[in-house]
Amino acid sequence: MQGSIAWRNAKHSAKDYRIYFLTVVVSLSLMYAFNLLIFSREIMSFSSQMNALTSVIIGISVVIVLVIGWLIHYMAKYMLEKRSMEFGTYMLLGIPNEKIASLYIRENLIMGAAAFCAALAVGSFLYQILALIIVNLFQATYQIRLFYSWKAVGLTLVYVFLMYGNSMIRMRHYLNKAEVGELLYIQRQVEKDKKGKKKHRRSFWIYLVLEIFSGSVFYLVCHKGMEWDYSGNLFFLSLGGILLGLYGIYTTLTAVLSGTLLENDWFKYKKDRLFLLRGMTAKFSSIGKTLGTLAILLTLTLAATQLGVLFERFFAAQIQGVTGFDVTVSTQGEAAQMERLKEYVEETYGITYEREYPLHLDKESLLYEWIGADGYIEGTPVLKYSDFKELWKALGYEPVSLEKGKYLLIGASKTAEDFKKKGMPPLEIGGEKLEIQTVLTEPFNISNGFHGTGYVAVAEDALAGTLPVYHTCLAMETKETVTNGDTEYMTELAYGDYQAGTDSFGTNAAVEAAKTSSVVIFAFALFYIGLIFACTAATILAVQQLGDASRYKFRYDILSKLGMDDEKRSWLILKQISLYFLVPVCIPIPLSIFITLQINRLILNSLVTGRIFIMACGISVGLFLLIYLLYFAAAYLGYRNKILEED
């Protein structure tokens, strides 16, 4: 009997709170899909660096378990409040608390089990999409086929137990001790508590000052590049202060809105403002803490997705600096020790072009400080123009002539952007000052130590030849593509005694694999956490509005009796839902861009241009708003249908 009642109530709850149920299904599906990825031997075999994906995904999944667990507990409490009269009536009829608790727990577990089963099917489909994306990134072939892993199922099931277990234990404890009056009048008690918890306006200004102060410290720490003592501690403390200030601003927002907008008669009595503002402030005063938590979630969501796009662009710019020739090797020793490598490459892949030449170093030049290149070479690496001309031609680039008294600079796109904005200092060799001619950004192996660590200058042969030789370079182009798996063996051939920081070896295949692995690990992980955070926040906003539809229906009925037709009431509902969804993101969107900008300046600025940053923010905010608008549309349509339905 109890089982059939629980099953019926679970189906009813899943229907009434379908947005919440679908969000749990999507979240569990993503978790299962990513678990399938980390247990897939095929995916892990693409690169040795892909092994790091396992620890990253599991670490992020722990955070997601906490967030989804919070959502599940929040919704369990919310549904209990809505059904408090029902449970209070059960108690009046003599049903023990333990049976009521068991019934409610069983209903939630049935919903959880249904979500888990649905997630296994949906997650398998999502895995195929993720696997196809990863395989295409590695430029490999992939055949869609069913992949099943007991380890992935077991790990996902552990996450489900953790998320539901904590909430159900707490709900059982509450219901076992609940009294009849407490349940029958829980709604009144909630309203009373919420009115008693209104914050004074002074608290809002305190939190606002904390937000500005923390933001200023965060800005200075990121701009100074961690030069201060305890910069790392200041970074995290200031970021925590920003989030705490944001939480406080939203929890005290109602007091400010009531004290500014609703006290001005000239403003509130125009058109339908009083109706909308009174409803909005009443709602926000009842969910202040929830609103503050959602603001933090939304900020982290937007920052995570923005950083995900930035990291992808950063790795793309980084690979542009590392790639160029198919095989590159440099040494301070005798050039003869590279013969074994040349023979192996010729036999295995076929050599179509090779050139051996010196890379010179101007130790007196401080150009690297001006450019901001982060490398171990203190000085400016310089190539002879004759070597550059032949190498440039071999790579198929347009010829570049060197003017008298000038030098060329090959660097990142960010260096070229800085050159256009503020020029470039001269390069002095042997007492002769050379002015910059132009900055070239084509791939030329400038970021792996072969041609420097971020840039290389090109000067006339007579001047460059006067500088000491830093190391001897060997560049090769091959007929067949060099495989990533061959890189380790070729490194052993190149050096019997590999000297890090002096000698270098690289292949385009290894660089591509490393870049792709980094994109998968960082970008995928950040989008993973961002998507689930966005769905969680939007779910609570949508469910709150849909849950209040029955309470607000009588207000719209009064408007109808006063002569307002359905079209105008629909427009008023649209305004109400729009305000409710707009306020939670009006601060997180610009705040997330500020946080991302400072982190970009701290760790990615050397390769990420302003255009790339704007593009990253646009893409991430656009994707977020797409998801957000889907929940907004669902909330609006559901709310309008409940309000305008016939009595």
Question: If the chain, 647 residues long, is cut into consecutive pieces of 10 residues, what is the mean pLDDT of each piece?
Answer: 75 82 91 88 71 81 90 87 81 84 89 92 88 73 72 92 90 83 62 49 88 93 72 88 93 74 65 75 77 90 87 71 79 68 86 90 78 67 93 90 92 81 85 89 81 87 90 88 75 60 68 72 81 89 82 79 82 88 92 92 72 86 92 90 71
Q: 3-class SS at 146? A: coil
Residue 169 covered by a domain: yes
- Phi and psi torsions of 226, nearest 5°: 65, 30
Which amino acid is present at 545? Q
Residue 376 is assigned to a structural domain of this protein: yes
Q: How many angstroms separate the CA atoms of 388 and 271, rounded? A: 72
Q: How many domains does the chain have?
A: 2
The Cα–Cα gap between 137 and 131 comes to: 10
Full residue range of the structural domain in which residue 380 is found: 327-480
Q: What pLDDT, on a 0 to 100 scale, did the predictor assign at position 518? A: 72
pLDDT in the model for residue 495: 65
- Write down the pLDDT at residue 387: 93
Identify whether 37 is part of a domain: yes
Tokens standing for residue 32: 């299962």
Q: Give the whole-angstrom CA distance, residue 531 versus residue 302.
A: 9
Domain boundary among 449, 480, 511: 480
Q: Is residue 277 part of a domain?
A: no
Distance CA 86, CA 158 (A): 33
Q: For residue 449, what pLDDT is reported?
A: 77
d(CA 474, CA 487): 16
- The answer to whether 576 touches 279, Cβ cutoff 8 Å, is yes
Residue 395 forms part of a structural domain? yes
Instruction: Flag whether 558 is in a domain.
Output: no
- Pairwise CA distance, residues 296 & 592, whole Å: 10
Supply the pTM of this predicted model: 0.74
Distance CA 584, CA 533 (A): 14
- So what's the pLDDT on residue 114? 92
Q: Are residues 166 and 23 in the same domain?
A: yes
Which residues does 296 contact at the CB level (< 8 Å), separation at least 6? 243, 246, 247
Tell me the angle at which helices 588-599 and 288-322 cross, rounded to the nearest 10 degrees: 30
- Token pair 């709850």 is found at 13
pLDDT at 499: 47
Give the end of a domain, one of 480, 495, 529: 480
| pLDDT of 631 | 92
User: Is 27 part of any domain?
Assistant: yes
Q: Among 196, 217, 236, which residue terminates a domain?
A: 196
Of 289, 337, 324, the C-alpha closest to 540 is 289
CA torsion angle 248 250 254 257 (round to 10): 110
- Alpha-carbon gap, residue 538 to 545, rounded angstroms: 11
Query: How many percent of the chain have pLDDT more than 70?
Result: 86
Percent of the chain with pLDDT over 90: 21
**pLDDT score, position 210:** 94
